[in-house]
Amino acid sequence: MTIKEVAKQAGVSTATISRVINNTGVVQKETRDKILRTIKELGYKPSTRQQIRSSGAAPLKHKNIALIWTGDSAVAFSETAREMVLGVLHQLQSLGAELTVDYITESDHIPKCIRDGKIDGVLLHGPEPSAAICERLRQFPVVWMLQAGSVEFGDHVQPNHNIFGRISAKHLIEQGCQQLCCISFTREHIDPPYWQSRANGFVNCAKVQQVNCSALHCSADLKESEREARSKELIDAFEKISPAPDGLFVANDFGNLIHSELMRRGITPMKDLLVIAGDVSAHPKVIDLHLFNKELGQLSVDSLLWRIKNPDMPIVTHSIPPELIIP
């Protein structure tokens, strides 16, 4: 019995079988349960090599990985960040390795761990820093987490935001929505950041399904003091759309602001208007997304360990499909 035969019987790829056996990466619970049943039914016994987790086989000279936040340091205290760090720590603990956390808050600031060089690799979260800092980062194996980061160096582990936009549009349409609206930031990049990928997926799915979809945009460079006023302007424009939208998708991080403004105007989300938005803490709860952040952290470590063992391979992007969380 081979792993290929198990994969064929379960109707999945050998890579998925390997992730279940090694307990690495992200596999949907339903798929995982199906694979485990198939393994049991077929009496499959993985070889010793297959039972060794890929992370455990990676050579770590310093037993130390750096996690560096390259944008607003406040992001490091979010729930998303907390879950990612837990995933990272889970993988590193099994290796007896430590995690060093630092920040790049100024264009010329190089974290001490990078200057000292006593780390095995770097996990990055946030926008690409200055060219001088990037030059120093290139000295190490690098994985960009969650956001796109650089397209010139480093591997990537991130949610498939385009899929999130598509499944959001599909869900609203399946719920009977006939007039959709998407709120996002202005398109400013050739290589789209997460909000643009989400918006593209949403609008394209609506187009394929031949459902009307309006798009509202604002600048991504707004100061914190300007965001509330801009959210009011966005809802002003939203209320002028005719016919009135019955499904709203907030692709950027304006979810809480949009939710508050809708409530202020007597529009109750999920009652008067179906709303999908990420990381909204207000009530009533709207449809949220599950990005598998802990699993993303685990997969980021696995990807970094793979890069340590394969330094000359081309850049790799690991894309994790999200799920909707229906309240």
pLDDT band at 29 (very low <50, low <70, confident <90, very high): confident
Q: What pLDDT score was predicted for residue 46?
A: 64
**What is the DSSP-derived secondary structure letter of residue 14?**
H
167-186 pLDDT, tens per residue? 999 999 999 999 999 999 98
Residue 111: asked if its preceding bond is cis (omega within 30°), the reply is no
Which of helix, strand or coil describes residue 199?
Answer: helix
Cut 0.75: pTM above it: no
Which domains are assigned to the chain? Answer: 3-52 (1.10.260.40), 60-146+293-321 (3.40.50.2300), 161-290 (3.40.50.2300)
Taking residue 306's Cβ as centre, other Cβ atoms within 10 Å add up to 19
32-76 pLDDT, tens per residue? 888 888 888 887 776 543 443 443 445 789 999 999 998 777 777
144-160 pLDDT, tens per residue? 998 778 888 999 998 88
Cβ atoms of residues 191 and 218 within 8 Å: no
Q: List strand residue ranges (DSSP E) for 38-178, in order.
A: 64-69, 98-103, 121-125, 142-145, 155-159
Full DSSP string of 129-157: --HHHHHHHTTS-EEEESS---SSSSEEE
Query: What is the DSSP pairing of strand 212-218 with strand 179-185?
Result: parallel
Query: Could you tell me which residues come within 8 angstroms of residue 147 by beta carbon, excluding any fewer than 6 positions away?
Result: 125, 126, 127, 158, 193, 194
pLDDT band at 2 (very low <50, low <70, confident <90, very high): confident
Q: What pLDDT score was predicted for residue 224?
A: 83
240-254 pLDDT, tens per residue? 999 999 999 999 999
Average pLDDT, the chain: 87
210: tokens are 């031949």
Higher pLDDT, 30 or 143: 143
Question: Helices 29-42 & 3-10, crossing angle to 10 degrees?
Answer: 120
**What is the DSSP-derived secondary structure letter of residue 273?**
B
Q: What pLDDT score was predicted for residue 198?
A: 94
Residue 327: asked if its preceding bond is cis (omega within 30°), the reply is no
Query: Could you tell me which residues come within 8 angstroms of residue 65 by beta carbon, excluding any fewer than 6 positions away?
Result: 88, 92, 97, 98, 99, 100, 119, 120, 121, 122, 123, 301, 304
Which of 11-20, 231-240, 290-299 shows the lowest per-residue confidence on average (mean pLDDT)?
A: 11-20
**What is the DSSP-derived secondary structure letter of residue 244?**
P
Q: Rounded CA gap, 135 and 124, in Å?
A: 14
Residue 27 has pLDDT above 50, yes or no: yes
